[in-house]
Chain A
């Protein structure tokens, strides 16, 4: 039997400097859920296809299920929990998902919102086709995507001061 291998990983999660010892075989999903109790990071397909485990690493979206936890060393990670205000207030994009009924079972929602967050933070105005492509790394089996697209588009236009 091979000896277990561990590594101490220092990183920044939702604005807080943290460190923990992880088994080198762990995925970033494992670390975020098990060590930090960040359960917005869902275990879906676990092969990088469904987007339920999506988080931001240094401002870019990654499926944390196919990202080794040890690679998080020195990285800045943002999960859905990090979008909440100091008293648990919802961010604009989260509220938009509620308002547009872009949530049904909710399993895909955190992943979608993190991609939406990256899109919105770019400060760019995208066409609907571009938004569809940018959101294409997520699978939702409930909503049919239209309301998700609406929520992202509305928030984008709102942030750009171009409300319909």
Chain B
């Protein structure tokens, strides 16, 4: 038994919005692999829950006519990894979410929950930051969309207004076309662990594979929320594909990352692996794009 004060099961998005307006103190539960654990710990004990898990319309992945990849917020990690659209156009996301927890967690955990928690260590978040994902929220005043960087406000806090739920995550065509990327999770164990630091990099090379036309990098656990590294991006964008560029890129991350010391690792260790992960992830992204170092 869980210490739940009351449970309301939404049958549709409008129903969920109404339930949230009727019960302003309620907490949204999607897959529950964070909410129920916090409830067990006592942190959320006695809460009222609005379950959105039964809204099947919020599951699944499709590509829209304009080439936007649209991921329903309730899509489980394992279904993202297995999805043909993701495998073809955005495989790095499928690989990133395949590192969450263990197999059973990947069957219950949803990408919407992973992002709405607002935690910096979420395995999906750094990749979504690095690919300029757009968050779609539906609330009493209709639908609004905002860049994922604006969605995250502070540790554990995202821009969800009263009565709003996240309905999908969208990757516009301009954000994925021509890019190849790689995500590296650094953790102490291969399964059932939280990232010490995670790094997601993607590049778009020139047609002759000699120049980095664009590069994007984001980190998890390098600050209170997932973050991009503009200094690193500036150090490599427009430069030739070379080991000097890769080195300058990876050293530049130190200008942006602000990790702290926790029981998992020290600030100094996280800074060190941020540089190493940036180097490795960029090297792999260049390789996947057909470039040579």
Q: Which of A5, A49, A60, A71 contacts B78 (CB 8 A)?
A: A60
Tell whether A149 is near chain B: CB-to-CB under 8 Å.
no
Contact A48 B191 (CB under 8 A): no
Q: Would you give the 0/1 interface string for B2-30, flagging 1 where the beta carbon is closer than 8 Å to chain A?
A: 11111101000000000000000000010
Q: Tell me whether A61 and B103 are in contact (CB under 8 A).
A: yes
Contact-residue bracket for chain B: 20 to 34
Name the prevailing secondary structure of the B interface residues: mixed
- Assess whether A40 is interfacial by the CB under 8 Å rule: no
Q: How far is the CB of B181 from chain A (nearest CB, A)?
A: 21
Interface string of B176-209 (1 = CB under 8 A from A): 0000000000000011100000000000000000
B3 and A137 within 8 A (CB): no
Say whether, besides A49-B192, A137-B191, A71 and B5 are in contact (CB < 8 Å).
Answer: no
Residue pair B1, A137 in contact (C-beta under 8 Å): no
A23 within 8 A of partner (CB) = yes
In Å, the complex CA distance between A140 and B101 comes to 17
Docked Cα-Cα span, A40 to B6, in Å, equals 29
- What count of chain A residues pass the 8 Å CB interface test? 31
Q: Tell whether B108 is near chain A: CB-to-CB under 8 Å.
A: yes
Q: Tell me which residues across on chain A come within 8 A of B32, comparing CB atoms.
A: 66-68
A60 CA to B109 CA in the complex, in Å? 13
Partner of A62, one of B3, B4, B29, B108: B108
Among candidates A2, A68, A70, A136, residue contacting B102 with C-beta atoms closer than 8 Å: A136
B276 at the interface (CB under 8 A from A): no
Would you call A115 an interface residue if the criterion is a C-beta within 8 Å of the partner chain's C-beta atoms?
yes
Contact A66 B36 (CB under 8 A): yes
Q: Per-residue CB proximity of A104-141 to B under 8 Å, as 1/0?
A: 00000000000100000000000000000111111000
Is the Cβ of B192 less than 8 Å from the Cβ of A137? yes
Q: Please tell me if B104 contacts chain A, counting CB pairs below 8 Å.
A: yes
Q: Is A158 an interface residue (CB 8 A)?
A: no
* A47 at the binding interface (Cβ < 8 Å): yes
Segment among A13-21, A25-33, A86-94 that sits at the interface with chain B: A25-33
CA distance A66 to B110 in the complex (A): 14
**B37 within 8 Å of A (CB atoms):** yes
B97-115 vs A: 1/0 string, CB under 8 Å?
0000111110110000000
Contacting pair B102 A47 (CB below 8 A): no
Bound CA span A136–B192, Å: 8
Check B104–A63 contact: CB distance below 8 A: yes
Binding site for A on B (CB under 8 A): 1-7, 9, 29, 32-33, 36-37, 40, 51, 53-54, 78, 101-105, 107-108, 190-192
5 A-B residue pairs with CB within 8 Å: A60-B78, A61-B103, A61-B107, A68-B2, A115-B103
